[in-house]
Amino acid sequence: MTDLLSKFDPLIQERENLLATGVKDPFSLVMEEVLSPTVAICNGKETILLGTYNYMGMTFDDDVRQAGLKALEEFGSGTTGSRVLNGTYSLHRDCEEALKEFYDMDHAMVFSTGYQANLGIISTLAGKGDYVILDIDSHASIYDGCAMGNAEIVAFRHNDVEALEKRLKRLPAEAGKLVVLEGVYSMLGDVAPLKEMVRICKENGAMVLVDEAHSMGFIGENGRGVCEEQGVIDDVDFIIGTFSKSVGTVGGFCVSNHPKAEILRLVCRPYVFTASLPPSVMATASTSIRKLMHSGNKRAHLWENSKKLHQGLRDLGFTLGTPEAQSAIIAVIMPDLEKGAMMWQALLAEGLYVNLARPPATPANMTLLRCSLCAEHTSEQVDQILGMFEAAGKAVGAI
Amino acid sequence: MANREEIMAKVSELIGPFNNKGVELAPGTTFQGDLEWDSLTVMDFVAAVEDEFDIIITMNMQAEIETVGQLADAVAKLMEN
């Protein structure tokens, strides 16, 4: 018998080698208690959270929690069914209404996760003979959406406007084309030049989908994302987003002004063939989304935090993923996995949690210590964080 | 229209800057095994080939191409269309 798991032997070996150097497993951290959006107890120690994507700190919002408790009491713990069968409650519809209000768009479709939203929409829109044109650094859910569909896949160099244009011009004029972009790329926290890219897509007859997972609630005048910030939201055909970041719960969605968008509910398999989200999740999401519409002050504070951390880490001598803070993600580039894991552990010992990101999730085989800020981090916490980076960086010889 | 030999010569020329190990090129040379390219190098090289011949090599096609000779065949076919 061939052991089907033997293909993972190199990875098993790499993990064993890493753990043999004495570092803790960075991919099996347990949070024993969560005290707030920014503090948890890990290994019995109070730890500042700087890697949660909980950008707007809505997870502990009083109104959000109350809405969830009420829905749990009134509608029970789960729907046990598909959105197209017994799994659409009034709360699911209300959540879609909240999204339509938030984005000022005609249609909204809620999926059970953000991953499924990309998987479903991309695989359903682009069929046999169509083309999906995507940035090489796209998220796994975008690649998996491509793999699940039958379209031809064309990749272009990260954020390269000219490379996108050249490829679009080489494709058959009459073929269906879907260009998939992200507002903020989650590994380095850099922003896409959507203004130019969306214009080029339209000039070349392509439909455009933008994943705004890491910008919702934070970037753009109304928090609608990078496409709002750069003034091209009206030319974007589909926006994909998630509830597991700024919204502070779990779920995914697609919003659109396309007049035929509703038909997707019947033909999109990752929407149909799975159970819908629990009522309490829908109630917390709707409440959070509506509050995010009026969160200008929190947005301003999150920008202050992001800029302060970026400047502070640069001043300490760390190499960062972007020349300036472009989003609430600040990526610290480490020379290799071993150094990255040592630094990660030293930070945890100081009382700070960040994400250790490694290939294949990262571009250019980089090892990153990825920090994501929260609007609920105080300015003092950012000072503390910088102190911890200094101490840990010196302890492991990273600076 | 370039013939098979011309395409092969051009492809070999484009491999040059990425051939860090100085591997001797033959139609059977593999990108992953012999040249030991990672995904990033593959992308840069594919972009160079695409620009040179003004074609698109989709990721679906790339998955089927393992050797230098297969790439030259694919380029020749794409240029006929």
Domains and CATH numbers, chain B: 4-18+27-80 (1.10.1200.10)
Instruction: Show the domain range for A120.
Output: 61-292
Domain boundary at A262, A292, A322, which? A292
Domains in chain A, number: 2
Please tell me whether residues A252 and A165 are part of one structural domain. yes
Measured in angstroms, the CA of B48 and the nearest CA of chain A are apart by 11
The answer to whether A187 and A331 are in contact (CB under 8 A) is yes
- CB under 8 Å to A335, separation ≥6 — which residues? A367
On the question of pLDDT at B20 being above 90, the answer is no
Please tell me whether residues A126 and A262 are part of one structural domain. yes
On the question of pLDDT at B1 being above 70, the answer is no
> Which pLDDT does position A86 carry in this prediction?
97
Query: Is A157's CB within 8 Å of B47's CB?
Result: yes
In a domain, A5, yes or no: no
Cβ-Cβ contacts under 8 Å, A171 against chain B: 56
In a domain, A7, yes or no: no
What is the domain-level CATH number for residue A369?
Answer: 3.90.1150.10
Domain boundary at A258, A292, A326, which? A292
Q: For residue A151, give the chain B residue with the closest CA.
A: B60
In a domain, A8, yes or no: no
Q: How far apart are CA A96 and CA A107, in angstroms?
A: 8
Q: How far apart are CA A98 and CA A92, in angstroms?
A: 10
Query: Is B38's CB within 8 Å of A365's CB?
Result: yes
Size of interface A-B (CB pairs under 8 A): 31
Please tell me whether residues A198 and A132 are part of one structural domain. yes
Judge residue A149's burial from the number of C-beta atoms within 10 Å of its C-beta, 0-12 exposed, 13-18 middle, 19 or more buried: buried
What is the domain-level CATH number for residue A217?
Answer: 3.40.640.10
Name the residue facing A163 among B40, B47, B58 (closest C-beta): B47
On the question of pLDDT at B8 being above 80, the answer is yes
Interface of B with A (CB under 8 A): 38, 40, 43-44, 47, 50-51, 54-56, 58-60
Q: How far apart are CA A329 and CA A332, in angstroms?
A: 10
- pLDDT-derived band at B30 (thresholds 50, 70, 90) equals very high
Cβ-Cβ contacts under 8 Å, A131 against chain B: 58
Biggest CA pair distance of chain B: 34
Q: How far apart are CA A148 and CA A120, in angstroms?
A: 9
Structure-token pair, residue A193: 């030049």
Please tell me whether residues A81 and A168 are part of one structural domain. yes
Measured in angstroms, the CA of B62 and the nearest CA of chain A are apart by 10
Alpha helices in chain A (DSSP H): 9-20, 62-75, 90-103, 114-125, 140-148, 161-170, 194-203, 226-229, 264-267, 269-272, 279-292, 296-316, 337-350, 379-396
Please tell me whether residues A118 and A196 are part of one structural domain. yes
Query: Is A157's CB within 8 Å of B50's CB?
Result: no
In a domain, A142, yes or no: yes
Overall residue count recorded for chain B in this entry:
81
Cβ-Cβ contacts under 8 Å, A359 against chain B: none
- Interaxial angle between packed helices A296-316 and A379-396, expressed in degrees from 0 to 180 and rounded to the nearest 10: 20
Please tell me whether residues A173 and A283 are part of one structural domain. yes
pLDDT tens per residue across all 399 residues of chain A: 999 999 999 999 989 998 898 888 878 899 999 999 999 999 999 999 999 999 999 999 999 999 999 999 999 999 999 999 999 999 999 999 999 999 999 999 999 999 999 999 999 999 999 999 999 999 999 999 999 999 999 999 999 999 999 999 999 999 999 999 999 999 999 999 999 999 999 999 999 999 999 999 999 999 999 999 999 999 999 999 999 999 999 999 999 999 999 999 999 999 999 999 999 999 999 999 999 999 999 999 999 999 999 999 999 999 999 999 999 999 999 999 889 999 999 999 999 999 999 887 888 889 999 999 999 999 999 999 999 999 999 999 999
Please tell me whether residues A90 and A150 are part of one structural domain. yes
Please tell me whether residues A19 and A150 are part of one structural domain. no
Structure-token pair, residue A370: 């990825």
Domain boundary at A275, A292, A309, which? A292
Query: Is B43's CB within 8 Å of A170's CB?
Result: no
Structure-token pair, residue A200: 């080029």
Look at residue A210 and give its three-state secondary structure: strand
The answer to whether A38 and A229 are in contact (CB under 8 A) is no
Name the residue facing B40 among A154, A167, A365 (closest C-beta): A365
